[in-house]
Amino acid sequence: MTKEEYLVNPCANLSIPYWKHLLFKQPKNINIYHENDYLEDNLYSHIEKYFRLIHYLKKPMKHHQSISSINIGKDMEELILQINQSYINERITVSKDDIQRWINHPTYDHSLWVKVVVGGCMIASGIAEFDVNTKEGVIEWVQVLPKYQRQGYGKMVVQELVYRLSKKADFVTVSGRLDNDSNPKRLYEDSGFEGSDVWYVCYKEP
């Protein structure tokens, strides 16, 4: 797929941002279909559904002065702890190697790593990327400590990332697991994202 083809309708044309499509190889035991192309098949041992939404940056974005940039050198340990504690129920964990890999992405932008600090503790954070080639902003990670969830901090982080991306991007995309108790899709829709594209990630038996 060419860049021009992708940009016609990013969320419907690919399940991932264009830059990832160019660099990452799809595992042989996984098939990915847009919901319009998916046909139920008994070959798959497990299927996960992911939404993909887009923000066209048409309206002025809200800037939150209480949100600051993450300093990787000083904040790495606390960021790792904060991410892991935020996803403890989902059993998602990250390590220093993961953080270093993200920093090495060609889309890394230090201004798109943000945090919310309350009482000297990082209680929420967000990570976005920017692809110069397509002028696409991508929100990758948004997490809030369990104690502070459902208090508006996640929305603040999303709005701040979109605000920062609006200074350089033509549009912003985000994706997430559709069947998620925390309902991240609503969070993004409340922050101006739109769309109805759903992608099926289908796993074959090893």
User: Residue 90: CB partners within 8 Å, gap ≥ 6?
Assistant: none
Long-range contacts at 162-165 (CB < 8 A, ≥ 24 apart): 162/55, 162/57, 162/61, 162/137, 162/191, 162/192, 163/61, 163/62, 163/63, 163/64, 164/111, 164/112, 164/114, 164/128, 165/57, 165/112, 165/128, 165/130, 165/137
CATH number at residue 42: 3.40.630.30
Minimal CA–CA distance to 110: which of 85, 79, 146?
Answer: 79
Q: Which domain holds residue 20?
A: 3-204
pTM of the model: 0.93
pLDDT tens digit sequence for 112-165: 999 999 999 999 999 999 999 999 999 999 999 999 999 999 999 999 999 999
The number of folded domains in the chain is: 1
pLDDT tens digit sequence for 53-95: 999 999 888 899 999 999 999 999 999 999 999 998 888 899 9
